[in-house]
Structure 1
Amino acid sequence: MAIDIGATMVRVAEVELGSGANPRDSAVLHAYAERSMPAGVIRNGVIEEPASLAGVVRETYAAAKTSGKNVTVGIGHHSLVVREVDIPAQPMAQVRDTLAFHVQDSLTTSVDDAILDFFPTLEVEGQSGTSLRGLLVAAPKDMVRDVVAVVDKAGVPLTVVDHSALGLWRGGCRGQIALENTALVDVGSSATTIVLSQGLTPRLVRVLPQGSNDANKAIANAMKGTGQDAESMKREIGMDLNIQDDRRAYAEAASHALNPLIESIRNTLVYFASSNPGGAVQRIVLTGGGAYVRGFGQALASATRQAVQYGEPLAGIRLGKGVDLRAHQGREAELATVIGLAMGGER
């Protein structure tokens, strides 16, 4: 099972993998719960009120009524380093023992200040022998410790700390999508995670410190004195500049706020394609609550000239008897990260 801690929501899911060729394609969602996060508990990805967060995690975990004992918590922040590196081929136990030595020149900070992990993707033959190519993940120790402390305070038996982007990739790269060069783009309230997948392999991860809450702030500023709710207006109007009434100013404000995010996503795709032969993205899969901002998908498709679709994290997954997701009908893409995290290390 897994816990996804976002800036505005805590989600808990328990998934049992299937027994087919790809266990993720025949999984069962046995438990799910979510709870809203009070404002200010997390700011810019930093836990400001650990006691309050622990309370929300405890409540969500209890509401899910899970039966599993192994719990994964996801961490996703722009300060985490995720970089493709090559290291000498060796058993994974030795990889972890020697990882700091092999990657110290790849980091801008001291390896002593980071918790390191390596996600192997393929073997590469070179002049100096066989190397393992994969994703280096370097997380600030203080950040990991803060999250672990919160989960421990909540009384949850934590087993694994995972990068949220890898959970997004596990849950999203299934079926036909897994066979294509795909950009998984999860738009949260304060951050956006991009995973570029090529040849059944995650090749690039980028976390941008921008999200749909940028539109909330812009709309709220434009609506000063009206007494209307910016969140509702964002969902109803969003970036739709075809609105012809007096609300067009709100759509213009949202567009102005989110266009830099769209440009950053486009630049990430361009960078990857130019750096990797055959790496041009064939489709973009949108997930996260921000995916449903009206007009966002169309604006992203226009900027990137790529097909954009909503993610379907529940596709092929059976629901357990106690799971009721009717409240999420039409908004299933919000569950993408927690479903993928709950699928654990299965590739």
Structure 2
Amino acid sequence: MAQLVVGLDIGTSAVRAAELDLSRSRPVLLTYGQVGLPPDSLVDGEIRDASAVSEAITKLWENGQFSSKSVIVGIAGLRAITREIDLPFVPDDEIDSAVRFQSEEVIPFPPDQTILSSQILSDYTSPEGDKMRRILVAAAHVDLVDGVIDAVEKAGLVVEGVDLASSALVRAIGGPDQTDKPEAIVSVGAGLTVVVIHQQGRPQFVRTIGSGGNATTAAISAALGIPINDAEGLKRRIGDEGGQQRSGAGAAQASMAELVGEIRNSIQYFASLPGRPPISRVLVTGGGSALNGLVAMLEGQVHLPVLTVSPLARLDTSRLELSPEHAEEVRRVLATPIGLALPEPDKSVKKFNLLPPEVARRSRMKKIQDRTLVGCVAVLVLLLAFGAWKFFQVHKAQNDVNALQASIGTLNAQVPKYDLVVAANNAYSAGIARRASVLNAAVDWPLALNELIAITPPKAEVQTFNGSATAAGTGSAASTGTTAASPATGSQGASPTTSAAIGSIQLAVTGPGPSLSISEAWINAVAGSQLFANPVQGATTVNPDSTISFPFTVSITPSASLDKNASLK
């Protein structure tokens, strides 16, 4: 079964996405695309023009062939950082709490405006003999994350995760199978340059430099007094013969030298940290890495091998039939979206996820509703097919009756044969009655699910959902599917007896505790609905995080039948 994941990178100059199938040992690149952004839509990794970004993402999905609207989006910038912290050994399930407590000392953002995610780097014993854990903490300012999520959701997509672009780069081109020594990855974008140093696929150091290819374009524009668009075109031709190219080359060299100096300083800083093994090489990617002379200048400054690399090397690209020229064109800009879609190579390591909890709940509810809608459509198709069959049966009977009625004159002369007409008319009436019986006992599941979502108290969360329809004329139930639901708001009505029920719903509910007010709210909500009755609550469990969980059963009344709601009339 295909395991499809889409990575979405919102860069300074463009939005880019790549969809992978992860069900095979070698991930398959199914599709990719990019759409340019107007200048200053994104500044230092933060969205300044949300409408422009949303429109670009919408266009990307309209023009592309992406099969999913669920994405993992990347962030970068001066307000998306990583820090290493050392903690006394705590169990895995207590790491997040311990990290949040200690991160206030190393994270420069206010705690109430910071989103954190963590990875365990190593366990070790201190010189004093204490067991310790070294943790890599990803931190982002909530304004940065909210801005990205808002723009993506306005484009009609669902955000499943928020990851750092630096981590995505490591997964895309710097996995653990390359070398056991540290290596630096440098991604030169239009507005930002990301330097990440990893060892065997685990990030050890990350720095974001607030400069990239656009700085070189601006330098050429200022030196020659030409528009930015013309300077961008000239930048791409530097190295060709021509007086203007030679004039622009000087300005470009000065700008590149400044950027290369910042990259060199980052690498040298990491090398100066105690206990760090020497860096083995530098891998370069990003659209800005195409600047003529950049790789040679960087190699001369860091005195290490500097290689341009492609994220396509680890993927199966046979579905796309990329020519070498096309692959060379796109390889520089796809590292981040590909890395966002890829899992961590070590399955025991969880990816960073800086998705706010309320957005995660919203995304989960959207996915549940989509799955439920598919199930309800399938049930509705079956009901429609059954209804059509019954209709044709009745229609055939009606035709028979019409034919018999046309022969009444003859049949009056043949009284014994008139019993056939009576029998046909009785059969027709019985068919109509059976159809009404089927519709009256059939649950309108879309209506029932929407009502359930509507009456769910705001702070309650439905973890599991199982709906059953009572077979007509019996007391048995037929299961219609199991899924999960999410909270919504209320509805009103009255409740009949159990004997009138046409189905039932079993739920597992979680809500804030430790009081039982949430369960009382559930019972009151059900009592006020015309579609549900006879709420039965099971034993309440108090969870470690002070929330409570309890099973809940409710009957579905005839008010929720297809006959009452005219779905098949």
Per the normalisation by structure 1, the TM-score is 0.90
CA contact (8 A) 2:166 2:194 kept: yes
Find the partner of 2:16 among 11, 18, 32. 11
Residue 2 of structure 1 contacts residue 338 of structure 1 at CA under 8 Å; is this kept in 2?
yes
Distance in 2 separating the partners of 1:213 and 1:203: 28
RMSD of aligned Cα (Å)? 2.4
- Give me the whole-angstrom Cα distance separating, in 2, the residues matched to 1:322 and 1:100: 44
- Distance in 2 between residues matched to 1:247 and 1:323, nearest whole Å: 35
What is residue 129 of structure 1 aligned with on the other side?
130
Residues 109, 246 of structure 1: alpha-carbon distance in 2 compared, 3 angstrom cutoff: closer
Match of 2:533 in 1: none
Residue range with higher mean Cα deviation, 251-260 or 66-75: 66-75
Q: Does 1:38 align with 2:38?
A: yes
Could you tell me how far apart the structure 2 residues matched to 1:135 and 1:175 are? 17
Aligned residue for 1:166, secondary structure, equals helix
Shift of 1:52: 1.6
Partner of 2:428: none
Give the Å deviation of 1:146: 0.8
Which residue does the alignment assign to 1:66?
66
Deviation (angstroms), 1:202 = 1.1
Question: CA shift at 1:148, angstroms?
Answer: 0.8
Alpha-carbon spacing, 1:323–1:58, altered in 2? closer, same or farther (3 Å):
farther
Distance apart, 1:158 and its partner CA:
0.8
Q: Partner amino acid for 2:338?
A: I
Q: Secondary structure at the match of 1:60?
A: helix
- Residue deviations 1:248-280 (CA, integer Å, cap 9, x gap): 221110111121211111111111111143532
Deviations for 1:220-242, whole angstroms, at most 9, x for unmatched residues? Answer: 122225998211221221xx6x9
Change (3 A) 1:29 1:217: same
Residues 179 and 200, structure 1, Cα contact 8 Å, conserved in 2: no
1:287 to 285, 288, 295: 285
Pairs within 5 Å for 1:123-162 = 123-126=123-126, 127=128, 129-162=130-163
The 5-angstrom pairing of residues 157-168 of structure 1 reads 157-168=158-169
Partners of 1:31 and 1:227 in 2: how far apart? 32
Structure 1 70/132 Cα, relative in aligned 2: closer, same or farther at 3 Å? farther
Q: Report the alpha carbon displacement of residue 94 of structure 1 after superposing the two structures with TM.
A: 2.1
Q: 1:299 matched to which residue of 2?
A: 297
**Aligned equivalents of 1:225 and 1:17: distance in 2?**
47
Structure 1 residue 316, shift from structure 2 partner: 2.9
Confirm or deny: 8 A CA contact 1:178 1:200 kept in the other structure. no
Unaligned runs of 5+ in 1: 21-25
1:315 and 2:316 aligned: no
CA contact 2:12–2:191 (8 Å) conserved in 1: yes
Q: Taking structure 1 as reference, are residues 201 and 44 closer, same or farther at Cα in structure 2, changes over 3 Å only?
A: closer
Secondary structure, counterpart of 1:297 in structure 2: helix
Kept in 1, the 8 Å contact 2:170–2:201? The answer is no
1:177 matched residue in structure 2: 178
CA gap of 1:91–1:320, structure 2 versus 1, over 3 A, is farther
Counterpart amino acid of residue 338 in structure 1? P
Bigger CA radius of gyration: 2
| Superposition deviation, residue 32 in structure 1 | 0.8
Greater Cα offset, 117-126 or 169-178: 169-178
The runs of 5 or more residues in structure 2 that have no matched partner are 1-5, 347-569
SS in 2 for 1:247: helix
Residues 121-130 or 248-257, more deviating: 121-130
Q: CA deviation at 1:49?
A: 1.4
**Number of residue equivalences:** 339
Q: Distance in 2 between matches of 1:280 and 1:42?
A: 35
Deviations 1:64-111 (A, max 9, x none): 322346420000002222111122333443222332112211123322
Query: Retained in 2: the 8 A contact 1:262–1:300?
Result: yes
Partner of 1:335: 334
Give distance in 2, aligned partners of 1:261 and 1:227.
19
What does residue 2 of structure 1 align with?
Answer: 7
Q: TM-score, normalised by structure 2?
A: 0.56
CA contact 1:184–1:195 (8 Å) conserved in 2: yes
Contact 2:80 2:140 in 1 (8 A): yes
Q: Could you say which residue in structure 2 is the equivalent of 1:95?
A: 95
Say whether the 8 Å CA contact 2:41–2:52 is kept in structure 1: yes
- Mean Cα displacement is larger for which, 248-257 or 287-296? 248-257
> What is the aligned-residue identity percentage?
28
